[in-house]
Amino acid sequence: MNAKDEAIKSALRTALHDAAGQIDVRSATLMTADELVVHRRVTRRAPMVAAMAACLAVALVVGGWLLVSGGNDPPSVLTPAAGVVGGCAGKAYVTNGSGSVSVIDTATGKVSAPIPVGGSLGGVAFTPDGRHAYVTRSKIADDNSPDGTVSVIDTATGVVSATIDVAAPTGIAITPDGTHAYVTNNDGNQRSGWVSVIDTATGKVSAPIPVGGSPHGGYPSGVAITPDGTHAYVTYFAGTNGDGLAVIDTATGVVSARIDLGKLSVAPGLAFSPDGTHAYVANVVGEPVSPGTVTVVIDTVVSVIDTATGKVSARIDAGRGSRGIYGGGGIGGAAIAVASTPDGTLAYVTSSFSDTVSVIDTATGVVSAHIPVGGFPVFPGSSGAVAFTSDGRHAYVTVGDDNTVAVIDTATGVVSATIPVGEHPTGVAICPAISVAQARRVTVQGPVLVNGYLVVTANGQVRICAGLRATRPPRCTTSALTVRGLVRRDFDDLALRGRPGRTRWRPDPVQILGAVQGDVLRVAENAPA
């Protein structure tokens, strides 16, 4: 026996012990003889029946899994389409002006029965753990409903589980740690307007944080929280003196800075780059057509803000040069919004005057495409909101005039689906993926979308990790989950790097939908024994 033989023996020994150690042997107890015989009678099948059952199981597993794929790219989301109950994983929530929330299955595009909330709905945001959706509900004139609320939907049951009194809510954003919701209030008074902060644990509402008022204008609309959770950016009508964006220090609850977006600026929507270095503000600017009126001629631009300096570093014309006359009554709810892809390479801006979604390359600041989507309304409260799926492959855009959601394939820039929703869709949010660390930390109920890096070790262990160490081959950082239930087909589709028999990995993050139990992420029920 030479050294080579010893190496083979040692490799075989290791592989056998690793493989044998991977299975869960049920903590079986010894049955009595009668029980054993009965057990075998019940479970034994004729070989052919067993074979067919096995076939069926394979078909179910394969059929139940939708690999979300764009073009020839390897799919990065594994989504069991069936047998999923509870939680928001794989769902998009769309708020409708008619008072309901439409729930879209992002894998199939199917819309389930709308969730009735009442009033007229505007903004929507998920808590980071995906268990709740917060929607803003404003009073409609001929409605007996309360003045205004933030309604909390339990995503597992799809019913409103809490109603929080907030006078005139429009936009909403939830802090990355999930502890607070920031709500803009627009009471229709140019000189007032404020932000309410909701403690998500207790439902208590803070004292209002004023953002409007002379000389700063009013009508706060958009709100977004920096990825590090330290600041909330709130947009409002700038008035003739300028400003238009207030920065709230989330630790103290006071406006710590104001950023000038231009005189008479209206900025209904904003979003941060994932690294938090830039804010993209959908912004309409103009000048009074005649002195003494609030009617303005408007250009649609995106103001890029360097968050370190608090200065506008660029203005990108996103409106394809189209202009419109914007009536005074429309201020505060202009039909534009902006969102940034999860990898930060693209920003999407909706423009109500050209009825397009403009695609901005964030590295160059160049508008690379104008995608026609249908009719955006110009009247207030019905904005063309944008949200991306957590893998960045699709953008969901509410098209208020058409009562639809347009789904844009971000790889091709083409509207790949048009989904009918309720009347006058306004906001849209897509269930967030949670990190590996979060999945390990919290008790997760129902299926969740876990974001991380996939590593298959030489002995066949499949893990999803919070990060990769820069070794060759890469190794998992300490926070990881063992993944069970992926089948070989999934691995083929995942196009892993590395050689068979060695560690293999995927250099970019994947999102895997499954149930978390302890340190295990189980992506599907195994075929019945």
Partner 1 sequence: MGAVFAREHERLVRVAYLLTGSSAVAEDLVQDAFVGLHRHWDGVRQPSAYLRVAVVNACRAHHRRNLRERSYFPELVTDTVVAETPVVLDALAELPYRQRAALVLRFYEDRTDSEIAQALGCRPATVRSLVHRGLATLKKVITQ
* Interface residue list for partner 1 (CB under 8 A): 4-5, 8-9, 11-13, 15-26, 28, 30, 33, 36-37, 39-40, 43, 47-48, 51-52, 54-55, 57-59, 456, 458-462, 484-489, 491, 500-501, 504, 526-527, 529
Nearer to partner 1, 60 or 411 (CB): 60
Cβ pair 394, 106 in contact under 8 A: yes
**What is the signed CA dihedral for 151, 451, 409, 300, rounded to 10 degrees?**
60
Nearer to partner 1, 110 or 489 (CB): 489
Instruction: Give me the residues paired with residue 224 across strands.
Output: 233
DSSP calls for 413-473: TEEEEEEE-SSSEEEEEEPPPEEHHHHHHS---S-EEEEEEEEE-TTS-EEEES-EESSSS
Taking the complex as a whole, the smallest distance from the CB of residue 474 to partner 1 amounts, in Å, to 16
Nearer to partner 1, 21 or 292 (CB): 21
Residue 302's SS3 state is strand
Taking the complex as a whole, the smallest distance from the CB of residue 89 to partner 1 amounts, in Å, to 22
Q: If you compute the radius of gyration of the chain from its CA atoms, what whole number of angstroms results?
A: 26
Task: For residues 128 and 391, give the distance between their C-alpha atoms in angstroms, rounded to a whole number.
Answer: 16
Cβ pair 121, 133 in contact under 8 A: no
Nearer to partner 1, 33 or 470 (CB): 33
Nearer to partner 1, 32 or 443 (CB): 32
Nearer to partner 1, 405 or 486 (CB): 486
Taking the complex as a whole, the smallest distance from the CB of residue 59 to partner 1 amounts, in Å, to 8
Nearer to partner 1, 50 or 414 (CB): 50
Taking the complex as a whole, the smallest distance from the CB of residue 74 to partner 1 amounts, in Å, to 15
Task: For residues 116 and 163, give the distance between their C-alpha atoms in angstroms, rounded to a whole number.
Answer: 13
Taking the complex as a whole, the smallest distance from the CB of residue 490 to partner 1 amounts, in Å, to 10
Cβ pair 178, 169 in contact under 8 A: no
**CA 92 vs CA 221, 253, 337, 384: distances in Å:** 22, 31, 17, 15
Taking the complex as a whole, the smallest distance from the CB of residue 18 to partner 1 amounts, in Å, to 8
Taking the complex as a whole, the smallest distance from the CB of residue 21 to partner 1 amounts, in Å, to 8
Residue 467: count other Cβ atoms within 10 Å of its Cβ: 18
